[in-house]
């Protein structure tokens, strides 16, 4: 029975890794609305003290990979820019939500950001780093930006939602993006949104690496969108 179970698992692994996946150079945003919504299956832990941050970072740096993202309270007034309020960092099982508006960049969080032993995967992470550096200067560690590698398999979209939909045919809901990330207590919907954004970076990275390694995908090249035509207004002389 054990032998049969092992053989079945081995067959399933080989079958999965030889499956040919169809991906698109660009994914139609309208098609995303009909896809099933993805949820984070792991544990979400909110960090509000330096002591909690120390334990969370120790846990994360014992992982093989970390997904990262940040959130900022939206500003609706011209010229107003809020600081980063949340740093979310997830391994494959647990996502930690560091409430930077309460803790600032603690020594442990700085240790995480400067670490070069564990891959940290983000999207448009260069912008996140600039935002984090307004709170405290640090030397960025080992970070990989998905926007720098997704083109290796022919995908031209750069948004997390489109890339995830293209590769996994599931939707990342963005409804919580413009909510108050400095609220006294984050809602369950905010926590889920934040966790998915970090954790999904791991899934995307793993799948890109698998597809690059196996070549088990078919790339459908779609035409470039038509350039926006700006009408010229000719004044009567």
Instruction: Tell me the pLDDT of the chain averaged across its residues.
Output: 90
Q: How much is the pLDDT for 81?
A: 86
State the sign of the Cα–Cα–Cα–Cα dihedral 32, 37, 43, 49.
positive
CA distance readout (Å), 54 to 60, 115, 122, 170, 185: 10, 14, 22, 34, 21
Taking the domains of the chain in order of start, what are their residue ranges?
A: 2-220
What is the per-residue pLDDT across 47-68, written as a single tens digit (0 to 9) for each? 999 999 999 999 999 999 999 9
Mean pLDDT of 91-103: 98
- What would the pLDDT profile of 165-206 be if each residue is shown by its tens digit? 999 999 999 999 999 999 999 999 999 999 999 999 999 999
Torsion of CA 197, 201, 207, 211, to 10 degrees: 120
CATH 3.40.710.10 fits 2-220, yes or no: no
Handedness of CA 130, 131, 134, 137 (dihedral sign): negative
Residue-by-residue DSSP string for 15-45: HHHTPPEEEESS--HHHHTTSPBP---SEEE
What pLDDT band is residue 19 in, cutting at 50, 70 and 90? low
């Amino acid at each position: 029975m054990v032998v049969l179970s092992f053989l079945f698992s081995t067959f399933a692994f080989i079958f999965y890794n030889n499956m040919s996946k169809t991906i698109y150079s660009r994914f139609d945003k309208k098609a995303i609305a009909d896809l099933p919504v993805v949820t984070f299956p792991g544990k979400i832990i909110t960090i509000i003290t330096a002591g909690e941050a120390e334990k969370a970072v120790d846990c994360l740096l014992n992982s093989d990979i970390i997904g990262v993202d940040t959130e900022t309270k939206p500003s609706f007034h011209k010229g107003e820019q809020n600081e980063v309020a949340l740093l979310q960092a997830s391994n494959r099982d647990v996502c930690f939500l560091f409430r930077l508006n309460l803790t600032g960049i603690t020594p442990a969080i700085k240790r995480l950001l400067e670490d070069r032993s564990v891959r940290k995967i983000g999207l448009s992470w260069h912008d996140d780093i600039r935002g984090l550096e307004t709170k405290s200067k640090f030397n960025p560690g080992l970070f990989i930006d998905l926007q720098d590698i997704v083109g290796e398999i022919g995908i031209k979209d750069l948004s997390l939602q489109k890339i995830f939909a293209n590769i996994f045919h599931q939707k990342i809901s963005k409804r919580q993006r413009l909510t108050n990330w400095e609220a006294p207590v984050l809602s369950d919907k905010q926590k889920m949104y934040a966790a998915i954004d970090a954790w999904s970076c791991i899934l995307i990275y793993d799948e890109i690496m698998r597809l690059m390694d196996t070549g088990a995908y078919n790339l459908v090249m779609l035409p470039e969108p038509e350039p926006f035509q700006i009408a010229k207004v000719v004044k009567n002389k």
